[in-house]
Structure 1
Amino acid sequence: MSQITRVETFLVAPRWLFVRIETSDGIIGWGEASLEGHADAVRTVVDQFAEYLIGADPDRIEDHWQVLTKSGFYRGGPVFGSAVSGIDQALWDLKGKSLGVPVYQLLGGAVRDRIRMYGWVGGDDPSGITDAIAAQLAVGLTAVKMNASGIMSRVGTVAEIDGVLERVAAARAVLGPDRDVAVDFHGRFTLANARRIAPLLEPLRPFFIEEPVVPENSHLIGQLAQATAIPIATGERLYTRQDFLPVLQAGIAVAQPDLSHAGGISEVRRIAAMAEVYDVQLAPHCPLGPIALAACLQVGFATPNYLIQEQSIGIHYNQGAEVLDYVLDKQPLKFVNGNIELLTGPGLGIEIDEVAVRAADSRGHTWRSPIWRHTDGALAEW
């Protein structure tokens, strides 16, 4: 029987944490446990989980998921969730490689031939949005996402509200009627602000409004869903099916679990199935690295209610390294007419450049979220 013989983590620029699991058969599986700003904490948890995993059968993915998420008296949250996510992705990668098939074949087979992609174009600062959109269109994308604003007052001024509208109008002017712009409120808005601004955005027809309130105020999101015809998206800071149930019941249109935070392939697959009951589409959050992106795509190829996929090639966070810097063959993750075509390689469908990963880990990173403040000195949501 094959056994897990080694579990390693790699702190790689710009802000990611990769997980490598090796078996006694010599097969290597890769996962991504990136938790932006807290990679060191996740690394410690993965090391602790490795005590259980060494010597275990790598094929028992679901049993390992149950043990890692439920055997501890204190459980849940982004740090534990991200550690489990990276391990889960690596185990699925191992399973696919051992059988010689892509992971989506193990999830029931492909339901589509390609997945539509979108890229980030700014918005914190209104300057450069049109040029950023043009750059994304030049590489073939047909959809983009932008932040609605920078720091936003608790009750927005006329100038702040007009600034949001001007940003999105500029994007719409470049994109025209056949391409899409999603608008990320990034949890920076109070419910009152979001309720004021959303109806004003309706003539510009955003693809969706993302995270209109912070996740701890998810109990309020139904009020916004009832106040606007724009689809509401949320979920990058929700980590379990139980977290998603209230927002699904409240009327969101798009669920955005992060496969590196929300329990990996195993749990996101279940979140997708639950979302389907509420006629909600899946669009996983993924401003991360190539392993997280590949894991998202594997779920997407096997999930009927999959809308679109975020990716971070060229995003402003990527200082010192890019998504494709850590893969040997960049072709599987290339855009074709705004899509990524069906991955055909075994496991997650990409080949990690282990030499580049180990070199990056030797340098490490210390990425942290910025700290913003209102004009009165109080902490502002970033």
Structure 2
Amino acid sequence: MARDSSAAETIENNVRSGSRPSDLRITDLRVAEIVGAPFTSALIKIYTNQGIVGLGEVRDGASATYALMLKSRLLGENPCDIDRLFRRIKQFGGHGRQGGGVSAVEIALWDLAGKAYGVPIYQMLGGRFRDKVRVYCDTDAEKPSGTETGKRLKARMDLGFTFLKMDLGLAQISHIPGAVVAPAGVLDGFRTHASRGRARTLDERRARNAAYDAQNVPHPFTGLHFTEKGIDLLDQYIHEVREVIGYEIPLAIDHVGHISLQDGIRLARRIEKYAPAWLEDVIPWQYTEQYRQLQQATSVPICTGEDIYLKEGFEPLLNAGISVIHPDLLTSGGILETKKIGDAAQDHGVAMAIHMAESPIAAMAAAHVAVATENFMALEYHSVEVDWWDDIVTGLPKPLVKDGFITVPDRPGLGIDDVVDEVISQHLQPGITGIWQPTDHWDDEYSWDRTWS
């Protein structure tokens, strides 16, 4: 009997405390705000009473406050109750960057649940549809000619990428006389970028707000139109790109600019001969009927979705008949919601690509969804020139993106061990002086959150 008792104690002593999921409780939430991977984002950690930590990430360009405000609604809860907690906090998310806090928390909860149960997230989503996740390499078109951009894209192909994306639109031709019809002063707003740092003077605040307002005008109301000369120049630009990279590789098109539906149709029809993989975000996603008209007017697959929050936000577009949806997990609501979005799209015969312009934390969250979703096409990667991107975390293969693919490791949760503090401390957002600082002032933030009587 004593021998049996001793054996039981030995087994108990060798079991990780994280393997008692029913006793797991959230004790803290902290953030680290970084820049350059490739843009600004906020990494989050959710701490527990058993020493395991869940990692998440707020959407690029969003505020860490979107996540911090949720802390008081999570403390003391079991993070394995992912769906229940998501339903509690999802009212505090919204479209665009406003979905960043809820999505970051949801991803961290999945990471915690996977670590507690000792299984990868994709397994909890139903298992694999594929062994590797195809990555498409996004490349801005800042070069003055399609030939030069083509050379940059060809360099990506030489690294093993089998799917590419480039910009084509207003940015390439707005400086050329006679290429764009524009009301006086409108183009100035698109040539000035709002500062992401702290505005320290009244004049700085006014300049930032003016740039924000100029770029916040929906496309149909800007009065911007491509001239025939402008369309010719864009045609020539993509022609030069294809001359360099050939036609064997998919090439998606993004950043057309704040132009009208009619100009989008003109451009789409002109570039059909270059077989684009898709044409992305031609107009704001809310104009569902205009997307229907756009897709019906061209054979180019039409794509949108990176700014849409929750599955119900995608349903009108799926019914409108677009060809590709493009959620970003850090806006859409996180891991499970994006899996639901992909499955709903499949029911409509629509493919799913995934937008991702953040750190390896967001990349792994997206990769788990991609592995577990049948109609997945390709995952965005925007950090090929960020030489410290792989060093942000430990526990993953290096490089994470190899020969144009991510192989999701068979490891618990996201598969990441931890964040490397020394690396992220070298890349803090302007005005930020530390990482993982105490957030006790958010512990007791409270309101009566019910949205019905």
Q: Give the structure 2 partner of residue 178 of structure 1.
A: 248
Aligned length in residues: 355
Q: Give the structure 1 partner of residue 393 of structure 2.
A: 327
- Separation of aligned partners in 1, 2:56 and 2:297: 40
User: Is contact 2:60–2:357 with CA below 8 Å preserved after alignment?
Assistant: no
- Separation of aligned partners in 1, 2:108 and 2:269: 43
Deviation digits for residues 109-144 of structure 1 (CA, Å, limit 9, x no counterpart): 111111111112222444430221122112110111
Task: Provide the aligned C-alpha RMSD in A.
Answer: 2.1
Which amino acid is 1:355 matched to? Answer: D
Q: 1:30 aligns with which of 44, 55, 69?
A: 55
- Separation of aligned partners in 1, 2:128 and 2:430: 37
User: Is contact 2:107–2:365 with CA below 8 Å preserved after alignment?
Assistant: yes
User: Is contact 1:332–1:350 with CA below 8 Å preserved after alignment?
Assistant: no
How has the CA–CA distance of structure 1 residues 299 and 174 changed in structure 2, closer, same or farther, with 3 Å as cutoff?
same
Which amino acid is 1:56 matched to? Answer: E
User: Is contact 2:170–2:257 with CA below 8 Å preserved after alignment?
Assistant: no
Task: Verify: 1:347 aligned to 2:417, yes or no.
Answer: no
Q: Give the structure 1 partner of residue 274 of structure 2.
A: 204
Which amino acid is 1:161 matched to? Answer: I
Q: Give the structure 1 partner of residue 429 of structure 2.
A: 364
- SS in structure 1 of the partner of residue 77 of structure 2: coil
- Separation of aligned partners in 1, 2:379 and 2:82: 25
Matches within 5 A, 1:241-256: 241-256=311-326
How has the CA–CA distance of structure 1 residues 326 and 102 changed in structure 2, closer, same or farther, with 3 Å as cutoff?
same
Q: Give the structure 1 partner of residue 442 of structure 2.
A: none
Q: 1:63 aligns with which of 72, 84, 102?
A: 84
TM-score (norm 2): 0.74
Q: Give the structure 2 partner of residue 278 of structure 1.
A: 348
Q: Give the structure 2 partner of residue 131 of structure 1.
A: 151
**CA shift at 1:25, angstroms?**
0.8
- Separation of aligned partners in 2, 1:204 and 1:358: 41
User: Is contact 1:123–1:148 with CA below 8 Å preserved after alignment?
Assistant: yes
User: Is contact 2:392–2:424 with CA below 8 Å preserved after alignment?
Assistant: no
Q: Give the structure 2 partner of residue 115 of structure 1.
A: 133
How has the CA–CA distance of structure 1 residues 78 and 357 changed in structure 2, closer, same or farther, with 3 Å as cutoff?
farther
Task: Verify: 1:144 aligned to 2:144, yes or no.
Answer: no
Q: Give the structure 1 partner of residue 73 of structure 2.
A: 52
**CA shift at 1:169, angstroms?**
1.5
Which amino acid is 1:135 matched to? Answer: A
Matches within 5 A, 1:6-45: 6-14=28-36, 15-36=40-61, 38-39=62-63, 43-45=64-66
How has the CA–CA distance of structure 1 residues 358 and 228 changed in structure 2, closer, same or farther, with 3 Å as cutoff?
closer
Deviation digits for residues 270-295 of structure 1 (CA, Å, limit 9, x no counterpart): 11111111111111111221111111
Q: In structure 1, list runs of 5 or more residues that go unmatched.
A: 368-382
- Separation of aligned partners in 2, 1:150 and 1:364: 29
User: Is contact 2:390–2:400 with CA below 8 Å preserved after alignment?
Assistant: no
Deviation digits for residues 307-348 of structure 1 (CA, Å, limit 9, x no counterpart): 111011236xx6xx7432302255265334422223322211
Aligned-pair identity in percent equals 30
- Separation of aligned partners in 1, 2:285 and 2:51: 42
Q: Give the structure 1 partner of residue 439 of structure 2.
A: none
Task: Verify: 1:158 aligned to 2:228, yes or no.
Answer: yes
Which amino acid is 2:34 matched to? Answer: V
Q: 1:99 aligns with which of 114, 117, 126?
A: 117
How has the CA–CA distance of structure 1 residues 78 and 197 changed in structure 2, closer, same or farther, with 3 Å as cutoff?
closer
**CA shift at 1:149, angstroms?**
2.1
- Separation of aligned partners in 1, 2:235 and 2:143: 13
- Separation of aligned partners in 1, 2:270 and 2:27: 57
- Separation of aligned partners in 2, 1:144 and 1:95: 34
- Separation of aligned partners in 2, 1:336 and 1:49: 36
User: Is contact 2:364–2:408 with CA below 8 Å preserved after alignment?
Assistant: no
- Separation of aligned partners in 1, 2:236 and 2:411: 44
User: Is contact 2:141–2:168 with CA below 8 Å preserved after alignment?
Assistant: yes
Q: In structure 2, list runs of 5 or more residues that go unmatched.
A: 1-22, 175-179, 181-223, 433-453
- Separation of aligned partners in 2, 1:213 and 1:125: 24
Which amino acid is 1:256 matched to? Answer: H
User: Is contact 2:396–2:409 with CA below 8 Å preserved after alignment?
Assistant: no
- Separation of aligned partners in 1, 2:94 and 2:139: 32
TM-score (norm 1): 0.87
